[in-house]
Amino acid sequence: MSVPAASGSPAVPLSILDLSPIPSGSTPAQALRNTVDLAQRAEAAGYARYWLAEHHLATGVAGISPALVIQLVAAATERIRVGAGAVQLGHRTALSVVEEFGLLDALYPGRIDLGLGRSGFRRPKPKAASGGDADAAPAAAPAPAPKKEAHTTPEGLLIPAPFDISSLIGSPLLTRYVQLVQFPGSEPADYREQVELIQAMIRGDARTPEGLEAHALPGEGADLQLWILGSSGGVSAETAGSLGLPFGANYHVSPAAILEAVEAYRKAFVPSRTLARPHVLVSADVVVAEDDATARHLASPYGLWVHSIRSGAGAIPFPTPEEAAAHVWTDQERGLVEDRIQTQFAGSPQTVVERLRVLQQATGADELLVTTITHDHQDRVRSLELLAAAWQEQSA
């Protein structure tokens, strides 16, 4: 596997992450047709990569299986790299991932990126009659971590206050995920061990704990670019760094943790056969239109859509601006999504290019990955094309 050398700021490669969103009033089939069309437009516009996300139990997202959607996109394009952003290892085995992506590489050699995520939830322990855990004495509650305040970096990048994920604990979405996405009674495997096993299977030297050889065909010897994606400075960043793999950090998902994520990755980095030095890709939500006002109007449903996810219900079909305008917000609802709205880059090509440049400078990103959701597909296409033209112009 090889990763492109970093370009000097601000001329870094620009790529796309697509969730295959389902607009309100539309269908999953149309969302997938939109994905294929957008990928073809992305290739024509000069984007470096086209990544597909994995989401489950959401009525507003058709991207549930990266491997299947990658096949659709790779078949409809010729040059652009196509990949997963990311396969969720919390409910997958290393073997199934290597076989699927080995098959993709056999069909589209040298074009496939395998991004690995860590999603997976441990089931709550049963409660004993006393109210404590059935198999452990209750421990003292840890002292609450100091609340981090929003601030702006010297480059001008907003780092918002962290989102309190505790609001999702016990939510219907989490409950359904544990019950339906993970196998009954299972627990997520150790993430680093899974990544190392995937590497070994691709190299062809994997062995079971008993020392038995394990060969994945297709998959063994596949020309895949392996990436680790993460939203914090935790296990994913440390795994990527210590194994010398490229790291994708999610400003579009967890903007409050972006700096600690890239710092943890670089601190843990050890040179490998893949990389001599750290290689960071950073994501951002963007909507581009001819002027700032139009872009903000097209992006206006974003908050309502994010709220559907963070409230624990799951992503709804993406609303129209008119549907979003009809929603009466409470202070609590706004608090759930404020960090994501504040860090979405919506504006004219010049406005968004400038904000992406700030993001790149503040994080030292070697690549940038943008995701765009609007209700009308043609507005997404236009956003992609306007951004590509402006990015290339300022990079010339």
Break the chain into its structural domains and give their ranges.
Answer: 14-121+149-395
Closest to 283 (Cα-Cα) out of 252, 246, 245, 240: 252
The full DSSP string for 76-116 is: H-SSSEEEES-EEGGG--HHHHHHHHHHHHHHSTT-EEEEE
For residue 52, the model assigns a pLDDT of: 98
The CATH number of the domain covering residues in 14-121+149-395: 3.20.20.30
Token pair of 288, please?
A: 């581009």
Which helix (H) or strand (E) segment holds residue 352: the answer is helix 349-363
For residue 10, the model assigns a pLDDT of: 45
CA–CA gap between residue 259 and residue 267 (Å, rounded): 12
- Contact predicate 19/373, CB 8 Å: yes
Q: What is the CA radius of gyration of the chain?
A: 21
Which helix (H) or strand (E) segment holds residue 334: the answer is helix 331-342
H-only helix segments in 204-301: 235-242, 258-268, 292-299
For residue 7, the model assigns a pLDDT of: 35
Which helix (H) or strand (E) segment holds residue 351: the answer is helix 349-363
305 burial class (0-12, 13-18, 19+ CB within 10 angstroms)? buried
The full DSSP string for 163-210 is: P-GGGGTT-HHHHHIIIIISPTT--PPPHHHHHHHHHHHHHT--B-TT
For residue 8, the model assigns a pLDDT of: 37
**7 CB-near residues (< 8 Å, 6+ apart):** 13, 366
For residue 131, the model assigns a pLDDT of: 37
For residue 167, the model assigns a pLDDT of: 67
- Contact predicate 384/45, CB 8 Å: yes
Sign of CA dihedral 150, 163, 344, 155: positive
What is the pTM for the complete model shown? Answer: 0.91
- Contact predicate 240/251, CB 8 Å: no
CA–CA gap between residue 60 and residue 28 (Å, rounded): 8
Residues of the chain short of pLDDT 70, as ranges, are 1-10, 120-147, 167
Instruction: Please count the helices (runs of H) and the strands (runs of E) in the chain.
Output: 13, 12
Judged by phi (left if over 0) then psi (alpha if -120 to 50, else beta), residue 231 lies in alpha
Q: What is the DSSP letter of 317?
A: P
Token pair of 195, please?
A: 């990544």
Token pair of 190, please?
A: 């150790």
Residue 283 phi, psi (nearest 5): -100, 160
CA–CA gap between residue 184 and residue 123 (Å, rounded): 10
For residue 380, the model assigns a pLDDT of: 98
Residue 277 phi, psi (nearest 5): -145, 165
**309 CB-near residues (< 8 Å, 6+ apart):** 58, 173, 315
